[in-house]
Amino acid sequence: MRINNAILKVVFLASAAGAAFADDPKRIKLATVLPRGSSIHQALIEMGEKWRQTPGAPVGLTIFTDGTMGGEAETVKRMRIDQLQASLLSVAGLAQIDASVTALQYMPMVFRSLEEVDYVRDRLRPLLDKRLAEKGFVALFWGDAGWVRIFSTKPALHPAEFKK
C-alpha cells in the first residue's frame, strides 16, 4: 500500500530576531490559522501554561487563532517585522520563507508508510533547519496534523475530473 504524502505538515516556528529583540522578551505572540478550541489549540494553551509556571523566568504566551492575524503568508510577514514571535505553519506558510520545505509535498504516492515519510523527513530536517535559520527563523518542532481532504459538490475519482 502506498501512502500519499498529502499530509499537512505543521511547524511551530519562531523568529530568531523576535525572540532576541521583542519589546517584552517574556511575552511571546503566536499566530495560527487553526481554529480556537481545536486539539492543537488546547495543546498550545497547555504549553503556554507550562511556560508561565517556569521558575525564575516565566514566559507569557498570547495565542491568536482562527487566522485573526491573517493567513500564513501574512503571519510570516508579521514575524519578519516582530509583530509576532511565533507561528504554527503548514508547508504553504513555510514556503514563504524557503521553497525547499516543499520537497516532500511534491512526491505523492512515493512512500509505503508513515515511517518512510518520517525517515526521509528526519534526514532532511538538518538542511531545512539550516535554511530557515539563514533567513532568521527557528523551527521548534515539525509534525503532521493529518491528511488533506479534497471536497467537491460533484463526485470525482481522478484529479482530471476536478478541472471541469
Give tens-digit pLDDT for 22-44: 445 588 999 999 999 998 899 99
The one-letter amino acid code at 143 reads G
Cα separation, 32 vs 95, whole angstroms = 16
pLDDT in tens, the chain (164 residues): 333 333 344 456 666 544 444 445 588 999 999 999 998 899 999 999 998 998 888 889 999 999 999 999 999 999 999 899 999 998 889 999 999 988 877 777 788 888 888 898 899 999 999 999 999 998 888 877 666 666 778 888 887 887 77
Q: Does CATH number 3.40.190.170 belong to domain 7-162?
A: yes
Q: Are 62 and 30 in contact (CB under 8 A)?
A: yes
Give me the residue spans of the domains in the chain: 7-162
